[in-house]
Amino acid sequence: MARPRLTHVSEAGQARMVGVAGKPPTLRRARAAAVVRLLPAAARLIADRQSPKGDVLAAARVAGIMAAKRCSELIPLCHPVALSRVAVELDVDAAAGLVRIETLAEAVDRTGVEMEAMVAASVAALTVYDMLKSADRAMSIERVVLLEKSGGRSGHFRRKPDGDRG
């Protein structure tokens, strides 16, 4: 199999920001997900809106949106993009001790929004952890993944439902 070309590495092996000025702006969409695994009792605090720090879901939603907007400040070679939409949805399964997070990022721009969607999912998950760490310090953030992306030259990607690579 041919080795993939790394666009953020020069021929000399140096990190670089890819030039996108010659690319036409197109609609770019990306969906990502993350899972927070925690004690069922801690998950129940979220579901019942009883967390001592306040509404965990509202805080995580806003944190994810804010993080997507600042993605290029966090990821060194990421271009700033003019996001037109960011959505963060959280689902609590208290019995299983899970918080499932799914994010969507959209822009009409010259480069994709995969990183924005994944940063939103990651920061939303970290916010859940921060707000509930007093109830469960052993929480884990698992499986931050790109679910789907569209727009641009590389075309459409969709992760297979069983979690395997697309």
Residue 10 resides in a domain: no
- Residue pLDDT, tens place only, 110-162: 888 999 999 999 999 999 999 999 999 999 999 999 999 998 787 899 998 86
What CATH number corresponds to the domain at position 80?
3.30.70.640
- Distance, in Å, from the CA atom of 2 to the CA atom of 37, rounded to the nearest integer, reads 38
Residue 130 annotated among the catalytic residues of the structure: yes
Residue 147 resides in a domain: yes
Residues spanned by the domain of 46: 26-152
Q: Number of structural domains, the chain?
A: 1
Residue 141 resides in a domain: yes
Catalytic residue of the set 93, 109, 130, 136: 130
- Residue pLDDT, tens place only, 10-46: 666 666 666 566 677 889 999 999 999 999 999 999 9
CA separation, residue 75 to residues 53, 70, 99, 151, 161 (Å): 29, 9, 25, 21, 28
159: exposed, middle or buried (C-beta count within 10 Å: 0-12, 13-18, 19+)? middle
Residue 15 resides in a domain: no
